[in-house]
Amino acid sequence: MLEILPIPAFKDNYIWLINDGRHAVVVDPGDAGPVFQLLEQSGLTLEAILITHHCHDHIDGVVELISKYPVPVYAPAKEFYDFPHTPVADGDLITLAALDLKLTVMEVPGHTLGHVAYYSQPLLFCGDTLFSCGCGRLHEGTAEQMHQSLQRLAQLPADTLVYCAHEYTLNNLAFALELEPDNLALQKRQQEVIELRTADKPSLPTTIGLELATNPFLRCDNNTIRQSLKLGENTVPAETFRILREMKNNY
């Protein structure tokens, strides 16, 4: 059985640590310090590092980690990295034999152009693409690209556990509730997340099913959302998405 642990880093990042009690893999180690600390405390052996995209808060711990533990690093083929790594592209299968884990690479451009997610049912590590009740900013890609990437993730099974790289959920929920104040699933999720955050627990993982019911960026075909944005019935979901993403930038 695999266990997924959050390693909080910086203000609101999570470095996810996948482990089976002996071996570990980390996703997006932006900071080496807290990873070293957990590995030493737990006696876990680092086997690999997975990178979703090239932003500093996701990669800045890599060089320090591999200088102590020379493990393979997997990173998107479409981005530049100045550390040794195995480039990965859409459809690639990564076999992590020590953990008996096979992950499929999904290219999900939008936040950055080469951004990838790592998927092994029921686990999804999606970096800064899909957040709980939100989505990543468009640093490099277009709204159209991000919309397509999110649509692709939305088609994964409803019980897929979504491990995003940031704790943005409460802020995202406030935005979502302005668009859909009567959405009961959203109201319930807000109560749950308030309790979790008050207890200093992560609001993650979320699930694809929960996101389909609550995340406005996955609900661009929803009438209430279109009405809140004063958009006509014929507005295509990609256009609703573009407008939503722009509104959220200034929220």
Interactions with Fe ion, residue window 61-80 (CB under 5 A): none
The answer to the question of residue 57 lying near Fe ion (CB under 5 A) is: yes
Interactions with Fe ion, residue window 169-228 (CB under 5 A): none
Q: Among residues 57 and 79, whose Cβ is nearest to Fe ion?
A: 57
Shortest CB 77 distance to Fe ion, Å = 20
Shortest CB 167 distance to Fe ion, Å = 11
Candidate segments 57-65, 69-77, 145-153, 202-210, binder of Fe ion by CB under 5 A: 57-65
Q: Among residues 11 and 230, whose Cβ is nearest to Fe ion?
A: 11
* Four-point Cα dihedral 231, 233, 234, 235, nearest 10: 30
Shortest CB 130 distance to Fe ion, Å = 13
The answer to the question of residue 31 lying near Fe ion (CB under 5 A) is: no
Question: Residue 21's CB: how many other CB atoms inside 10 A?
Answer: 11
Candidate segments 53-61, 85-93, 101-109, 221-229, binder of Fe ion by CB under 5 A: 53-61
Candidate segments 54-62, 84-92, 114-122, 200-208, binder of Fe ion by CB under 5 A: 54-62
Locus of tokens 């609101």 = 12
DSSP string, the chain: --EEEEEEETTTEEEEEEESSSEEEEE--S-SHHHHHHHHHHTPEEEEEE-S---HHHHTTHHHHHHHS---EEEETTS--SS--EEE-TT-EEEEGGGTEEEEEEE--SSSTT-EEEEETTEEEEETSEETTEE---SSS-HHHHHHHHHHHHTS-TT-EEEESB--HHHHHHHHHHH-TT-HHHHHHHHHHHHHHHTT-----EEHHHHHHH-GGG-TT-HHHHHHTT--TT--HHHHHHHHHHHHHT-
Q: Among residues 55 and 218, whose Cβ is nearest to Fe ion?
A: 55
Length of the chain: 251
Q: Among residues 51 and 55, whose Cβ is nearest to Fe ion?
A: 55
Q: Among residues 107 and 128, whose Cβ is nearest to Fe ion?
A: 128
With CB under 5 A as the contact rule, the residue among 47, 79, 128, 180 that binds Fe ion is 128
Shortest CB 165 distance to Fe ion, Å = 5
Q: Among residues 54 and 219, whose Cβ is nearest to Fe ion?
A: 54
The answer to the question of residue 28 lying near Fe ion (CB under 5 A) is: no
Q: Applying CB under 5 A, which residues contact Fe ion?
A: 55, 57, 128
